[in-house]
Amino acid sequence: MSIRYDATQRIFRLETNHTTYQMQVGPVGHLLHLYYGRPVPDALGYRLLPRDCGFSPNPYDLREHRGWSLDTLPQEYSSADNGDFRCPSLEVRTASGMRGSDLRYVTHEISKGKYALSGLPAAFDRDDTCETLSVTLKDAATGLEAELLYGVFAAEDVIARAVRIKNAGTEPMTLHRVASACLDLPFGSWELLHFHGRHCMERQPERRPLLHGVQTISSNRGASSHQHNPFLMLCAPETTEDTGECIGVMPVYSGGHRTDVELDQSGSVRVVTGISDAGFAWQLSPGETFTAPEVLLSFTPSGLTALSQTFHRFLRRNLCRSKFSQQPRPVLVNSWEAAYFDFDADRILSIARGAKELGADLLVLDDGWFGRRSHDKTSLGDWTPDEGKLPGGLEPLVRAVNDLGLQFGLWIEPEMVSEDSDLYRAHPDWALTVPGRKPAMSRDQLVLDLSRPEVSDWIFETIAGLLRAHNITYIKWDMNRSLTDVFSRALPPERQGETAHRWVLGLYEILERLTAEFPDVLFEGCAGGGGRFDAGMLAYVPQIWCSDNTDPYSRIAIQYGTSFGYPASAVGAHVSASPNHQTGRRTPLSSRAAAAMAGMLGYELDPGKLSEDEKAEIRRQIADYREFAPLIQLGDHYRLGTSAWMFASPERDRALVTVTVPAPEGNPRPLHLRLKGLDPEKYYAISRIRYFGCEIEPAPLQGVYSGAALLYAGLTLPQLYGNLPGAQLLLEQTEAL
């Protein structure tokens, strides 16, 4: 039993293997948060001693008790205009102008299994061990009901939360903000670790103390964005990778999002997280329900790495439904940086032949194959092959690629339309544009209105048609601009504030239908690289193109930041040509491969331009990768610093360690590393070492070490000189010497 209710004290206790979460129904029905942290056996009722705080109002029925204020007490779901002046989870206005709500406990239910959210991605109960708590709160004046959902994954140490808002009143209301969760932390000192960035430089970690007031991590771009990833951690100031308390908050949502972190007058911290309220206004008629997306919470006292690993495992096992989340991925060669728009069938076939020679499994035909797409100003929406480039369409090419013994994959950007396209000429109203105003353009394209069922049907049929007609086993699903001019020609004026969220629901519906009909197709997400790298997408696609930047110097930094929330199995990572097309930097092929082997490996270059030596090197890289892949994809990931990492098998019998030196110095100090994730009782042999990027051949390194020696004393590597030099070591359990 991971959920218990103590009816005397009216306390809910949610227990995972290593955490306790408690809340209590207060004297007049407010649902108060008590605790989230290490396991405690006691019911912590009345721990929150009310205190009289000037200018913090009291609920009317508790006006004799000046200490009882919603402004100071921690709550499970905050609201506006009811005496709590901190961040609201809910903002509502009824037709008669009432604002705010006073939510009080009505009932609850504890059930086996995990709740489901209609139309939204959500974690699932892989092992039949999850339990659900549903608590219904009600605002008597408006009739609004908030059903707070808690999915308790005990073994995984994750609590999933979501909210259903029902209009159980008699007059229409408009929701202006509906958060998925509110987490009040009444005690402790916390820092915020979040992941900001930009196109080609996504998910850069930034850790800072909380300041009084509200710190907001958000995207109002219609997508989760390159700029602010919808994942954050709160950690105690002393928390390190290996020790200390921290909490992870991960919305399962791919659209605009908003997380407020507020440090209030009492020193308490409130986190309110959910969909972006920028322009949001959802009409809710009597009897209707609105469902706010899921958010995943996890706590650990054991440092950032432990928290990351919890999310890694959970996303792989309990969120991503694709069979590929557990199965080996193909090593692919992608045509984009090899040919851009400049190709015909022969050119693609010659890349495919080269890919086969390198030992790859899959050839991906990227942008440029459809309409008259010889540049990026045209043809999105016209998903019929360009006969000029591909005579006879896709089929002869797919067959020829298959005949080489390769799978065939295809790029598509289904959510978009070019102004210069037959689709736009036929259906100008299918694009998001504001009547009477020229839309903001981005990459010369517009966004299709996915809130319209006929548009999402058309997208589904178009992609399903391609997949039914051809032997396509992989789709790269791209999305290359943010949403602006968010106006739907199909919605009435009073519903325009619903467009952005309905758009995301439309996207999820298409993904749901496609992944259900084509479970054997590997879908890879992409949005100009990592502009939509989030748990919502990962429910449908097992991997996402992490960044358009494949320069290993940058990529190592991007993948480092990404690793805090997301597993390597979610990271699409390619070796591209040198000099790099994004940064102009030259790097050795071996260093590029070492960086790409922290994710799902691919190549994005023209094999025809490789020397025989380079081809041989790539064949060896791919052979190595196939051997390492189970560790990388399903092993435990450890950050050993910003530019060194390792994967260890759950059985602790194998590990792959990668160390890079981004800025080699003259007369370098010894490179010394304490490893992680090994068993101190076991012995390990360095069964393989690959140096990369080294201009001067390093001294050999081999031997057998105890796990204890590698963990506590560490390993000293030879001096490494070169251009992003480093070493990749495979450790395998062996007998003691």
Interface positions with ligand GLA (CB under 6 A): 336, 366-367, 376, 411, 478, 480, 526, 528-529, 545, 548
- The structure tokens 């019929």 sit at 384
CA–CA dist 380, 366 (Å, integer): 13
Q: Which is nearer to ligand GLA, 254 or 298 (CB)?
A: 254
The answer to whether residues 447 and 432 touch, using CB atoms and an 8 Å cutoff, is: yes
Least CB distance to ligand GLA at residue 408 (A): 16
Least CB distance to ligand GLA at residue 606 (A): 15
CA–CA dist 487, 495 (Å, integer): 10
Pair of tokens at residue 108? 């609850």
CA–CA dist 651, 602 (Å, integer): 27
Q: Which is nearer to ligand GLA, 93 or 377 (CB)?
A: 377
Least CB distance to ligand GLA at residue 222 (A): 17
Q: Which is nearer to ligand GLA, 196 or 581 (CB)?
A: 581
DSSP state of 76: S
| Catalytic residue, candidates 15, 245, 534, 548 | 534
Task: Using DSSP, state whether 367 is helix, strand or coil.
Answer: coil
CA–CA dist 597, 572 (Å, integer): 10
What are 690's strand-pairing partners?
Answer: 728
Residue 690: C-alpha distances to residues 530, 556, 656, 701 (Å) = 29, 18, 11, 10
Q: Which is nearer to ligand GLA, 68 or 336 (CB)?
A: 336
Q: Which residues contact 33 (CB under 8 A, 6 or more apart)?
A: 22, 23, 74, 75, 76, 182, 183, 184, 186
Pair of tokens at residue 282? 């959802």
| Catalytic residue, candidates 422, 485, 614, 653 | 614
Q: Which is nearer to ligand GLA, 356 or 581 (CB)?
A: 581
Task: Using DSSP, state whether 280 is helix, strand or coil.
Answer: coil
Q: Which is nearer to ligand GLA, 139 or 548 (CB)?
A: 548
Residues in the chain, overall count:
737
Angle made by CA atoms 11, 14, 16, in degrees to the nearest 5: 155
Q: Which is nearer to ligand GLA, 21 or 411 (CB)?
A: 411
Task: Using DSSP, state whether 10 is helix, strand or coil.
Answer: coil
**Would residue 614 show up in a list of annotated catalytic residues for this protein?**
yes
Q: Which is nearer to ligand GLA, 336 or 503 (CB)?
A: 336
Is the peptide bond preceding residue 552 cis, with omega within 30 degrees of 0? no
CA–CA dist 416, 158 (Å, integer): 36
Q: Which is nearer to ligand GLA, 199 or 313 (CB)?
A: 199
> Which H or E run contains 395?
helix 394-403
- Backbone dihedral angles phi then psi of residue 653, each to the nearest 5 degrees: -110, -5
Q: Which is nearer to ligand GLA, 35 or 411 (CB)?
A: 411
CA–CA dist 104, 81 (Å, integer): 15
Distance between alpha carbon 640 and the CA centroid of its chain, in Å? 22
- Kindly give the pairing relationship between strand 407-412 and strand 636-639: unpaired
- Kindly give the pairing relationship between strand 173-185 and strand 158-167: unpaired
Task: Determine the residue type at 673.
Answer: L
Least CB distance to ligand GLA at residue 366 (A): 5
Q: Choose among 239, 241, 234: nearest CA to 215.
A: 234
Q: Choose among 688, 685, 700, 697: nearest CA to 725.
A: 697
Least CB distance to ligand GLA at residue 624 (A): 25
Pair of tokens at residue 388? 């000029």
Q: Which is nearer to ligand GLA, 4 or 581 (CB)?
A: 581
The answer to whether residues 601 and 594 touch, using CB atoms and an 8 Å cutoff, is: no
CA dihedral in degrees (434, 436, 442, 446; nearest 10)?
A: 60
Q: Which is nearer to ligand GLA, 360 or 416 (CB)?
A: 416
The answer to whether residues 474 and 364 touch, using CB atoms and an 8 Å cutoff, is: yes
What are 90's strand-pairing partners?
Answer: 79, 178
Least CB distance to ligand GLA at residue 480 (A): 5
CA–CA dist 600, 331 (Å, integer): 8
Q: How far apart are the first and last CA of the chain?
A: 47
Q: Number of C-alpha atoms within 13 angstroms, CB side, residue 454?
A: 8
Task: Determine the residue type at 405.
Answer: G
DSSP state of 578: S
Active-site annotation, residues:
534, 614
